[in-house]
Structures are given as structure tokens and as C-alpha cells.
Amino acid sequence: MSFKIVITVFFVLLLPLEVSSSEPKTWINAGYWYSGSESPVPDIDSTLFTHLLCAFAYINSSTYELSIPSSAEQYFSTFTNIVKQKNPSVITILSIWDGTTNSSIFFSMVSQASHRKTFIQSTIKIARLYGFQGIDMWGVSLSTDMNMTNMGTLFDEWRAAINSESTSSRLILIMSGHYSPVVDSDKYPVKSVERNLDWVHIIAYDYYLSKRDNFTGGHAALYDPSSNLNTDYGIKEWIGIGLPASKMVLGLAYHGYAWTLVNPKENGIGAPARGLAITQDGSMSYKYIKWYMKSYKLASMYNATYVVNYCTFGLFWIGFDDVEAIRTKVSYAKDKGLLGYAVWQVPNDDNWVLTKAALGEDKKQGNKKWLLVILLPTICVLIFLLGTLLVVFAERGTQKESYEDNGYRKKVGVS
């Protein structure tokens, strides 16, 4: 074995480890921060995200201009600067909601060209004023054909206005939509969505609510063998009406819901319940759920059929997504060719456990430990071989010099 061969083997072993650590640059790790959150903006670890969305600005029901509550303006005006201190490359997006359950203000706005123009101009103005690099229209409900047509027209005009700006930094334009694009005869204007929006954030959660449903449900179930109310069904519907998978970002829920069971012994998914539990509306952040589980020494159960987690405590049943569900959903998004994921909302995480699971960071840490276990002995062997070869080469050099000094070269006919 030569010295060159040993060096070649050394680099063949180590180089793939370096290459395999690279991640696709186009994958989106997005997260929402809600201005009503108790968690301060500086607490966000922006290094864990490619995009951060600040929610919500609202639509003025009289003027149709964009409106930011006075109590929240300080957060919107400083959001971009604060999150970029930790991660200068993070992209910030202004998220807009109409503030109603049926999007009535939004549909009133899109019904007239003058209202649409006023709205569009104000969104671009405020986004630029506060340093946002994109705009998100959150949670527009499915509605009549006319409302959906007007919505498509808004997207055409919005995109044209953005493209006409005299700046090289084009604003991102996205929508956060219903998990399924079709309900009864209503459907989103998919052609306008595809040509005008950078992506659609699929709101793939809140399928079941403990304040409404009298049975326990996987509120963010990836699959459901007994119902169409699940994420996989919705994604296939979006693709079926013509939206490419590469235009979709999967919504991940950092919250769950608590039910009160009818019978503590019947505590699976779909078990009879008689209302909400623990909190006023039954909702619980992941951080609160983990604190609750730790306090009462509860175990997290994982249901691979639905891809959800849950835990029970007497009559209380809590459904949520833990690391197993999050990892599976991110893997699903990649397998389906989606563009990435968006979490609602980042302050609900518990010491960034879910976010790191979504990124695969928790597994990377474990893999690094195993790599060290494998790699260190290999490096030691290679160092030993290198050292041995250096000694052999040195001895041969000494012997060669001895032969020359004693006149052996002439005896063997070496010139």
C-alpha cells in the first residue's frame, strides 16, 4: 500500500460526510408570529426559518385600506429589523386577515375595481414602509362563483401592481387557504392563483374543535380512513384542480385541543366527548401541553394511521402534534413535491423542539453522535497506518543511504 492510496482512502471516507450535510436551498421553513401573542418578537429564533410572517393587518370595512391596530403598530414597524438581527437572510412577510369568519369585508372589497385599487396600493405602501418583503392574504373563505371570480381579478391586479414597482426587490405574494380548494360547488380561482401567487399556504389544521364536536378528533390529521376531513385529501384536491404541488406550503399546527371524555376508558380518536376541557375554548399551545404532561407525568401516544399525537388524564383528552407527527408531515410534504411548510404559530413551540424536528435537527444531532462513534476509530486507524508508512519510508531511506556509502551501487551495476 502506497502513501497516495492511504490519502485517497482518507478523503473518500470523509468527503461524502461533508457533501451529505447540504440542504436544498429552495425548501421553505416559514412561521407565523401573531401580534396578540404574549411572546416578544426578540425571542424568535429566526435562524430556524427561511420566512417569518407577522400577523395580522386588517382591511378597513369603510375605506378598504390596510389597517394595523394602534396597539400592534410598534410590532409591525420593528418586526423585520428585529428578526434580521439573528438571521439577516430571513424573509419577512406582512400577513393580512379580513377579521371575519366568512370573509365578508374581503369580498366586499374585491367586488369593485376602485376598492381593489385602494386596497392593493395600501398593502404595498405599508409593506414597503415597514421593510416587509412579501404580503400574505390569510384565510379567505370559499364563496360564490362571483366572489371567487372577483378574488381572481384581485390577484391579477395585485401582481401587476407589484411588478410595476420601480424596484428590483419584487414583493412575494401568497395566500393562506382552506385545506381543500373545493367545498360543495365553490372553489378557489386556481388559474389566477397559479399565475399570480408565489405559493399557497394550506391551513391543514382545526378540522375538529372541542367547543364544537362531541367526539375527540385529530384536528390536524394527515390521514383519516373514515372521513375526507384530512390533509392528504385536501392536497390531492388542490393538485386535482390544477395547482402544482410546487406551489403549495403545508401548514403545521403548534397547538392542540382538549376534550372532556364521556368515558375515560374509551379514549381513542373518535371517542364520545361532552365538550371542551382545561382552557376556556379548549385550545392549548404545544408549550402548555408539554408543561401539562410533565406536571401530571402523562405519556404522549402516537397514532400512525392518522399521524397525530394525544394524551389522556382522567376524563381529559388532548389531541396535538408532537415530534413524530411533525417529522412524518414534513416527510410527506417532501415526498409529494411541496415547496415547504409554514407553522402556526412560532411562540407556541416548546424550546424549539417541534421546529428542530421539522428541520430534522434533532435527528442530525443523533446522527452526528453515531458518525463520531464510527469516524473516530477510522481516523485513528488511518493515522496509525500513515505513521507506520512514514516510519517504513524513513527506514528505507536510511538503508538506501547506507548502501550508497558502502559502494553497493557499483557491485550491483546500478549507474
Domain that holds residue 249: 25-253+324-368
Nearest CA to 319 out of 307, 329, 328 is that of 307
Nearest CA to 319 out of 225, 226, 219, 203 is that of 219
Q: What is the pLDDT of residue 262?
A: 98
Do 330 and 405 have their domain in common? no
Q: Is the pLDDT of residue 71 over 60?
A: yes
Grid coordinates belonging to 81 = 429589523
Do 166 and 186 have their domain in common? yes
Which alpha helices (DSSP H) does 185-230 contain, by range? 190-196
Asked, for residue 60, whether it belongs to a domain, the answer is yes
Q: Is the pLDDT of residue 23 over 80?
A: no
The three state secondary structure string of 222-250 is CCCCCCCCCHHHHHHHHHHCCCCHHHEEE
Asked, for residue 289, whether it belongs to a domain, the answer is no
Question: How does DSSP classify residue 41?
Answer: G
Q: What is the pLDDT of residue 379?
A: 52
Do 214 and 248 have their domain in common? yes
CATH number at residue 164: 3.20.20.80
- Average pLDDT over the chain, rounded to whole? 88
Question: How does DSSP classify residue 142?
Answer: P
Domain total of the chain: 2
Question: Each residue of 365-390: pLDDT tens digit?
Answer: 444 444 444 445 555 445 555 555 55
Task: Pick 167 or 331 by higher pLDDT.
Answer: 331
Q: What is the pLDDT of residue 404?
A: 47
Task: Pick 24 or 326 by higher pLDDT.
Answer: 326
| Percent over 70 (pLDDT), the chain | 81
Give 364's pLDDT tier (boundaries 50, 70, 90).
Answer: low
Q: Decide: helix, strand or coil at residue 352.
A: coil
Asked, for residue 293, whether it belongs to a domain, the answer is no
Do 219 and 363 have their domain in common? yes
Q: What is the pLDDT of residue 361?
A: 79
CB 309 within 8 A of CB 325: yes
| Percent over 90 (pLDDT), the chain | 79
CB 363 within 8 A of CB 324: no
Do 246 and 389 have their domain in common? no
Q: Is 352 exposed, middle or buried (0-12, 13-18, 19+ CB in 10 A)?
A: middle
Do 240 and 373 have their domain in common? no
CB 180 within 8 A of CB 169: no
Question: How does DSSP classify residue 155?
Answer: H
Q: What is the pLDDT of residue 395?
A: 58
Q: What is the pLDDT of residue 385?
A: 57
Do 81 and 119 have their domain in common? yes
Give 38's pLDDT tier (boundaries 50, 70, 90).
Answer: confident
Q: Model's pTM, two decimal places? A: 0.83
Looking at the DSSP bridge assignments, the partners of residue 242 are none
Do 132 and 200 have their domain in common? yes
Do 248 and 390 have their domain in common? no
CB 257 within 8 A of CB 283: yes
Asked, for residue 19, whether it belongs to a domain, the answer is no
CB 66 within 8 A of CB 126: yes
Asked, for residue 259, whether it belongs to a domain, the answer is no
The H or E element containing residue 389 is: helix 361-405
Asked, for residue 52, whether it belongs to a domain, the answer is yes
Do 90 and 235 have their domain in common? yes
Q: 26: Cβ–Cβ under 8 A, 6 or more apart, which residues? A: 339
Q: What is the pLDDT of residue 167?
A: 85
Asked, for residue 111, whether it belongs to a domain, the answer is yes
Distance, C-alpha 337 to centroid of its chain: 14
Give 16's pLDDT tier (boundaries 50, 70, 90).
Answer: very low
Do 383 and 237 have their domain in common? no
Q: What is the pLDDT of residue 296?
A: 98
Q: Which of 351, 368, 385 is the last residue of a domain?
A: 368
What integer is the mean pLDDT of 61-79? 96
Do 249 and 373 have their domain in common? no
Asked, for residue 268, whether it belongs to a domain, the answer is no
Question: Each residue of 255-290: pLDDT tens digit?
Answer: 999 999 999 999 999 999 999 999 999 999 999 999
Question: Each residue of 138-183: pLDDT tens digit?
Answer: 999 999 999 999 999 999 999 999 999 998 899 999 999 999 999 9
